[in-house]
Amino acid sequence: MTRILRSMRRPVRPASAPPPLRALPSAPAPAATPEVPPDGYVRLPTRLLHRLPLVHLYSEWEASGELAGWGERDPTDRPVRAHRCGEALDELYGHTEWAGRDDPRVSIGWDWQACWTAGHLRWMAGEVRTNLMLVDERGDDLGAGATQRLLQLHLAHLDWPPAVAGALGMRG
């Protein structure tokens, strides 16, 4: 028993060793985030969509356009070949995920395609996936289809390609 107690003593540190690390006081707890409704949607009036600040979380490459949902499909819904962008020599595919800057419950992700055309990289947003539900002036849901279409129009006016390119290590 004495041998066990001796082995449990703190080891003596040499005089040249730095002092042990001490725990820093913890940061204050973040403000409470409102709960997400049971259906999982965060509702936003359509008129406020243009004011929704987003922050880039991550972007990834896809192995091919077939995985990203681009391209022709046969009757079994399997990709046949990827679309060409004009006279593009190279096509890049991937997906990206963004969150609400002021409301981290908001999650918006989309597939993207980038094509080299006449020496210029042209970016296009594809299918949008989100937990956002746009509502009208009365607070009624617009529905998933209308929300997706409005988000796609919204993305066309956002300058998202530089953030995606930067995350992927692409040079401008």
For the stretch 13-62, pLDDT in tens is 445 544 444 444 444 544 555 677 889 999 999 999 999 999 999 999 88
**Domain 38-167 annotated CATH 3.10.450.610:** yes
C-alpha dist (Å) from residue 28 to 25, 31, 32, 34, 123: 9, 9, 12, 18, 41
Paired tokens of 14: 């040499």
pTM of the model: 0.66
8-state DSSP, 141: B
| pLDDT recorded at residue 17 | 47
Q: Residues of the chain whose pLDDT is less than 70?
A: 1-34, 63-89, 171-172
| pLDDT recorded at residue 119 | 78
Assess contact for 67 and 112: CB atoms under 8 A: no
| pLDDT recorded at residue 38 | 87
C-alpha dist (Å) from residue 15 to 12, 19, 70: 9, 9, 65
| pLDDT recorded at residue 121 | 86
